[in-house]
Structure 1
Amino acid sequence: MDTIYDVLIIGGGPAGLYASFYAGLRDLSVALFEAQAELGGKLNFYPEKMVWDVGALPPTKGKKVNDSLQEQANLFEPTIHTNTTIKTWEEQDGLFVLRDQDGTCYYGKTLLIAIGGGVISPQQLSCSVDATITSHIHYEFPNQQAIFGKKMVVSGGGDAAVDYAIEAQSYGAKVTLCYRGENLKAHESQVKKLAALGIDVYTNQTIVGIAKGEETTMVLQLQSKDGEPTTAFSCDHLLVQHGYDRDTSLLEQESITLDRYSDFYLHCLFPTKTSAEGIFAAGDIHYFDGKVNLLAGAFQDAALAVNQIKQYIDPKSPAYGMVSSHNKKFHERNQELMM
């Protein structure tokens, strides 16, 4: 018979990863599903930016936070599936049944939804691109060492594009920003900072083609809105920030209806408990009065959801797990760390 897990976690971002760890701490078997190739959720969008808002954690790059979360999530050996998009869910004979894009089914006693803002993917360039230079076209902030002293173009006019242009220059890149619109949409203070730093900005310009250059990595073909002939602009790296597409079809299920807030978030009258028995939520995907939309808040959500799941499965179990400093599960590991 197929394995029946105590909890099926949909979403491999910070909330889902921490829930995986905490569920293991509470002796719950876990299967976690992530639609993207990499775990980490939004942390993958700012790997080189500093995370400041996690208690007791010094300013740490997003990539390092992600790596540490994944290591922690795997501590109790959960089953983790990446590149796995859950298409449908339903309830059968007291179990939740998930079906992925290949038709494979997974079975669990409870369901924890931790999909953040939905399955998010960056909007791709629509122009032709020479295949030999794709490694220098980025949709997330590149390694700071790779761009030091290099010519870098940031394409986009929103907050992320302007912030990244400023950050790239601080890492020693020679930055130019191009935007298809007439005026940048980023916060006014950041636009002023961009100008004060002397970063060149080309507005009303769209990238219509990218070719391999002779001396530089690539040559961008830019065209203005008025249809003037294209102009060539050479650079070593291109960072594309054209926004993100969000797939929320998973929540549009007919078999199980969940109460929503603002036509999107799962509305929980009590934190992490959705309107359906046995289905819980953690992280940005759910709303309740007093919800804290911070990374630290996602960890709190995850622990609370797992404690509720434990009691849902076994009503006689303690309301929460033993704290890590006294938990026997860590005794041997603590001894190893102290040697």
Structure 2
Amino acid sequence: MNDCYDVTIIGAGPAGLFSAFYAGLRQMKTKIIDNHSTLGGKLHVYPEKMIWDVGGITPILGEDLMLQLTEQAQTFDPTIILEKTVTKIEQSENQTFKITTNAGEIHLSKTVILAVGGGILSPKKIGFSKEEHFEKTNLHYTVDKLANFRDKTVLISGGGKSAVDWANTLEPIAKKVIMTYRKGELTGHEAEIQRLINSSAEIIYHTEIKDVEGDDYIERAIIHQVETDERFHLEVDEVIINHGYDRDNDLYEQSPLEFMMHEQHGLAGSAYGDISVPGIFAAGDSLNYNGKLHLIAGAFQDAANAVNRAKQWVEPDADKVAMVSSHNALLKEKNKPLFEQLSKQ
């Protein structure tokens, strides 16, 4: 546990996973720490959504991209610590970073890459009676499997971009999609809003779910009409709450290091991954700078830049960047079994 690593990556979303791969490529002793039970980060939030904007990859489900990134991240066998939340980062007199988790574990590292996105995400809850009970059956905060909603009456609470996206995705699959929203207009991409309005989905404006009823499963929702203060019941099979997420940035506040935050969101830094604390770098949604590309493709570049900076921090004479894959000796060795497999096909 107390071996000192060259780099410890906090967060295992796209930026963290690609950081792990690239750090291995640069022959760094690498550790990943993440609070989830599996690797993938924010991709867990939308496993059934199609992702179109990763270069060279045709439309791919979030779950499939997560699996491919996970496999790539383990190419050079990094140490992986799951279901642990980093609560504090300190720096010792010899410049080694001391990383503490919620389990009281101590991890030592020469450098750190922060890839925690905008913070640890927790879905915003309404506060139903028996809410935790129904979370085990038919109360959802995201859509894990589309098949679970087939031929069902689905009630979606929310009217933002994600709620609109899920409504459009489920409309051709579900028996009926009903959306309840406190405001009088949906928000999000105009084309997606129009698509939803022109579909068979029912949108009930100026309403909210007040509570739900049922024994083992939610059988009906109590809907409150905000303007008239009236209430009525809706018979439902599945309920999706999409009110956004609470972000936990306690790590920055509880650490004695001076993390400088960007005025919009994330850590203020440079396109190379540098932030206000020397020896700690950032990538993906954790990092913000002029010209930032808020796409998964941008997270990959952030990751490579952060690793290159970390490599030079550990070994000042190291090359600024890794050799490209077509010339890299490490990858040539790993290519051999792949070529052998192709030759047999």
Query: What TM-score results when the alignment is normalised by the length of structure 1?
Result: 0.91
What is the alpha-carbon distance in structure 2 between the residues aligned to residue 193 and residue 204 of structure 1? 20
Which residue does the alignment assign to 2:97?
A: 96
Cα 1:47–1:312 change in 2 (3 A) is same
| Structure-to-structure mapping, 1:173-188, within 5 angstroms | 173-188=175-190
Q: Conserved in 2, the CA contact under 8 Å of 1:12 and 1:33?
A: yes
Shift in Å, 1:151? 1.5
Q: Which residue of 2 aligns with 1:43?
A: 43
> Can you give the 5+ residue segments of structure 2 that lack an aligned partner in the other structure?
none
Structure 2 vs 1, CA of residues 80 and 227 (structure 1 numbering), >3 Å: closer, same or farther?
farther
Q: Is the 8 A contact 2:32 2:78 kept in 1?
A: yes
Match of 1:327 in 2: 328
Specify whether residues 270 and 149 from structure 1 end up closer, same or farther in structure 2 by C-alpha distance, changes over 3 A only.
closer
* Structure 1 SS opposite 2:107: strand
User: Any conservation in 1 of the 2:222–2:233 contact (CA below 8 Å)?
Assistant: yes
Stretch deviating more after TM superposition (69-78 or 178-187) = 178-187
- The answer to whether the 8 A contact 2:155-2:240 is kept is yes
More moved, 16-25 vs 69-78: 69-78
Which of 166, 169, 172 is the matching residue for 2:168? 166
Q: Is the Cα contact below 8 Å between 2:186 and 2:193 reproduced in 1?
A: yes
One-letter code aligned to 2:298: G
Paired residue type of 1:32: I
Distance 1:48 1:71 in 2: 19
Q: 1:72 and 1:173, CA in 2 relative to 1: closer, same or farther beyond 3 A? A: farther
What is the aligned partner in structure 2 of residue 19 from structure 1?
19
What is the one-letter code of the residue matched to 2:289? F
Q: Distance in 2 between matches of 1:39 and 1:224?
A: 41
1:213–1:219: 8 Å Cα contact kept in structure 2?
Answer: no
Corresponding residue of 2:197: 195
Counterpart check, 1:151 vs 2:153: yes
Distance (whole Å) between structure 2 residues aligned to residue 151 and residue 106 of structure 1: 48
1:156 Cα deviation (Å)? Answer: 0.7
Aligned-partner SS, 2:137: helix
Map residues 31-110 of structure 1 onto 2, 5 A cutoff.
31-92=31-92, 93-110=94-111
Query: Partners of 1:142 and 1:279 in 2: how far apart?
Result: 34
- Is 2:157 the counterpart of 1:139? no
- Measured after TM superposition, the shift of residue 13 of structure 1 is 1.0
Indicate if the aligned counterparts of 2:265 and 2:288 stay in contact, CA closer than 8 A: no
Contact 1:271-1:288 at 8 Å conserved across structures:
no
Q: 1:155-210: CA deviations, max 9, x gaps?
A: 11112112211111133542111123344344454333222113112233332333
Could you tell me the percent identity over the aligned residues? 36
Deviation at 1:62, TM superposition (A): 0.8
Over aligned residues, Cα RMSD in angstroms? Answer: 2.4
CA contact (8 A) 1:129 1:209 kept: no
Structure 1 position 3 matched with structure 2 position 3: yes
Describe the SS at the equivalent of 1:261: coil
3-state SS of paired residue (2:171): helix
Structure 2 SS opposite 1:134: coil
**Counterparts in 2 of 1:59 and 1:326: CA distance versus 1, 3 Å:** same
Rounded Cα–Cα distance in structure 2 between residues aligned with 1:174 and 1:251: 44
- The farther-off stretch of 245-254 and 98-107 is 245-254
CA distance in 2, matches of 1:313, 1:133: 46
**Given the superposition, is the C-alpha separation of residues 192 and 334 from structure 1 closer, same or farther in structure 2, using an over 3 Å criterion?**
same
Q: Which residues in structure 2 correspond to 1:261-300 (within 5 Å)?
A: 261-262=262-263, 264-269=265-270, 271-300=272-301
| Alignment-mate amino acid for residue 222 of structure 1 | I
Secondary structure, counterpart of 2:136 in structure 1: helix
- The residue type equivalent to 2:22 in the other structure is Y
Structure 1 32/303 Cα, relative in aligned 2: closer, same or farther at 3 Å?
same
Offset, 1:226: 6.0
Cα distance change, pair 213–2 in 1 and its aligned pair in 2 (3 A): closer
How many Å separate the matches in 2 of 1:292 and 1:38?
26
Amino acid at match of 1:34: D
Alignment TM-score, normalising by the size of structure 2: 0.89
Give the Å deviation of 1:332: 4.7
Instruction: For residue 323 of structure 1, report the CA deviation from its aligned partner.
Output: 2.4
- State the Cα deviation string for residues 281-325 of structure 1 (Å, max 9, x = none): 111221233222211111111111111111111122222223223
Whether contact under 8 Å (1:13, 1:115) holds in the other structure is: yes
Inter-partner Cα distance in structure 1 for 2:290 and 2:64: 31
Once the two structures are TM-superposed, the CA of residue 263 in structure 1 deviates from its matched residue by: 6.2
Residue 173 to residue 304, structure 1, CA distance change in 2 (3 Å): farther
Change (3 A) 1:254 1:122: closer
Matched-pair contact (CA < 8 Å) for 2:89–2:255: no
Query: What is the identity, as a one-letter code, of the residue corresponding to 2:295?
Result: L
